[in-house]
Structure 1
Amino acid sequence: MHSTPFSPTEARSARARMGLSPTQVAHFMATCGAPVHPQLVLAWEQGSEIPTDRQLFALADVLWCEATTLMGIEPRTLAEHRLARRLTVERLAYRIGMDPTEYREAEAAQHWHGDAWQTRALVEALGLSLRKLIGIMGRVDELTEHLRSAVAGRWKAYVDPVAEIVVVDATSVGDALRTMHGEFSRFSERYMGHLVARNDDARLKEIAAERAAYLRRLVDHFWELIGEEGEASPFPLGGR
């Protein structure tokens, strides 16, 4: 069940900066379309109650601060990024063409299963990148394993699985995997060349260290090759 993140301390501080009483806050919230009792404002500041999403947005407007200030955290989850953009579930679901119930389930499970258009609409609405979305959804480890298998084996077999995770077209993913496979293969070629030539162990260890460093940067390098497609919504959202 989603619960709106809220910092009583930040709420008290924001109200103090504005010089408003709980009664005044409640009055101004009513003008914002979110009427509440002054005692509820105090309950929020005491930590005994938590505002709803709509109440959080209205309170941020009244106190002239960002929603993230009142949340007291840097957004980490899909729900928190939505709140930071002051979007209700219903409004965001409408913008990305998804049933609100389905979207709410995705937030609760922290598992995104929208199609390519919905995914691109989501990252644009939340001000994210495809790469950031994958991190939020906890799929970085899965992507890493696919990339490691691709560079060490038959890279073509991993084009579709990787494209499904990153929501980038298969051609771009294939180009990146082919490049990475070639780069990784050269480590083996150099290693074997020095081994056959009976070069000293220091050189072999140096190549092995370079190989290990390459593997550690595998995901970063993949996104470097993908380029702008991974940093923002890859194409305009004018149609489906």
Structure 2
Amino acid sequence: MYSTPFSPAEAGSARHRMGLTTAQVAQSMAACGTPVHPDLVAAWEQGFQAPTDQQLFALAAVLWCDPTTLMGIEPRTLAEHRIARGLTVERLAYRIGMGPAEYRAAEEARHWQGDTWQTRALVEALGLSLRKLIGIMGRVDELAAHLRSAVDGRWKAHVEPVAEIVVVDVTSVGDALRTMHAEFAEFSERYMGHLVARNDDARLKEIAAERAAYLRRLVDHFWELIGEAGEAAPFPTGGP
């Protein structure tokens, strides 16, 4: 079951910096619309319990720090990025035009299936890029597999699957795959040329090493070719 990431030590340090007692924190949280008992605040700092998302947001407001400080970690998952932005499931789901239950299911499964508009709205709301979202959702290996097949085979067959993964228009994806396919073909041509010419093994090994290095950087190189579309997510015109 999902639990809000929380650092008892950071919470205690933040409260001491503000010079507040647990009772004063509880009173201030109540004024923010999130009433809690002072004993619960103490339990958080002692690590016996963790606050809910809403309680963490209120606590951060009272202690004059951002939610990430109280989380005690750098956001890694979709849920953690949402919390770091101070958004409840309901607020974020509303902003991206998705039902709360559907969005929560995506967080729990760590599998995103939103449409193009929802995806671009999501990355803007969370301050991400399309490239980073692919990593968070664990689809880098899937992308890499398509790219390997594309550079060494029929690249056109992989345009739409790759575009679906990265949420970038098919024209940009097609241009990138065509370029990568041509670049990779050069390695084979150079290798065969040296092989036919019976050049020394050292040169053949050098070309083979360059080819291997190219394959290791497929995903990075793909995003380099995609350019700004992968690093930024301009908010789409219109809406759901």
TM-score interval w.r.t. the shorter chain? over 0.9
Structure 1: any 5+ residue segments left out of the alignment? none
- What secondary structure is seen at the aligned counterpart in 1 of 2:65? coil
CA distance in 1, matches of 2:114, 2:36: 36
8 Å CA contact 2:117–2:236 kept in 1: the answer is: no
Number of the residue aligned with 2:228 = 228
Q: CA-to-partner distance for each residue in 1:73-132, whole Å, 9 max, x for gaps? A: 110000000000000000000000000000000000000000011000000000000010
- What secondary structure is seen at the aligned counterpart in 2 of 1:165? helix
CA distance in 2, matches of 1:160, 1:221: 18
The structure 1 segments of at least 4 consecutive aligned residues displaced by more than 2 Å after TM superposition are 234-240
Number of the residue aligned with 2:69 = 69
CA distance in 1, matches of 2:235, 2:72: 33
CA distance in 2, matches of 1:45, 1:139: 36
How do 1:104-123 and structure 2 match up within 5 A?
104-123=104-123
Number of residue equivalences: 240
- What secondary structure is seen at the aligned counterpart in 1 of 2:64? coil
CA distance in 1, matches of 2:70, 2:130: 27
How do 1:179-218 and structure 2 match up within 5 A?
179-218=179-218
Q: CA-to-partner distance for each residue in 1:22-60, whole Å, 9 max, x for gaps? A: 011011111111111111100111111111111100100
8 Å CA contact 1:228–1:234 kept in 2: the answer is: no
Structure 2: any 5+ residue segments left out of the alignment? none
- What secondary structure is seen at the aligned counterpart in 1 of 2:92? helix
CA distance in 1, matches of 2:77, 2:36: 28
Change in CA separation of 1:99 and 1:15 when aligned onto 2, cut-off 3 Å? same
8 Å CA contact 1:121–1:237 kept in 2: the answer is: no
Number of the residue aligned with 1:58 = 58
**C-alpha displacement at 1:236, in angstroms?**
3.4
How do 1:10-159 and structure 2 match up within 5 A?
10-159=10-159
CA distance in 1, matches of 2:66, 2:234: 28
**C-alpha displacement at 1:239, in angstroms?**
3.3
Change in CA separation of 1:186 and 1:235 when aligned onto 2, cut-off 3 Å? farther
8 Å CA contact 2:152–2:184 kept in 1: the answer is: yes
CA distance in 1, matches of 2:110, 2:209: 36
CA distance in 2, matches of 1:59, 1:139: 34
Identity of aligned residues (%): 82
Instruction: Please report the TM-score for the alignment, with normalisation by the length of structure 2.
Output: 0.98
- What secondary structure is seen at the aligned counterpart in 2 of 1:150? helix
Instruction: Please report the TM-score for the alignment, with normalisation by the length of structure 1.
Output: 0.98
**C-alpha displacement at 1:237, in angstroms?**
4.4
8 Å CA contact 2:121–2:235 kept in 1: the answer is: no
Change in CA separation of 1:195 and 1:234 when aligned onto 2, cut-off 3 Å? farther
- Give the counterpart letter for 1:76 in structure 2: R
- Give the counterpart letter for 2:110 in structure 1: Q
Number of the residue aligned with 1:171 = 171
For the aligned residue pairs, the C-alpha RMSD in angstroms reads 0.9
Q: CA-to-partner distance for each residue in 1:59-80, whole Å, 9 max, x for gaps? A: 0011111101101111000000
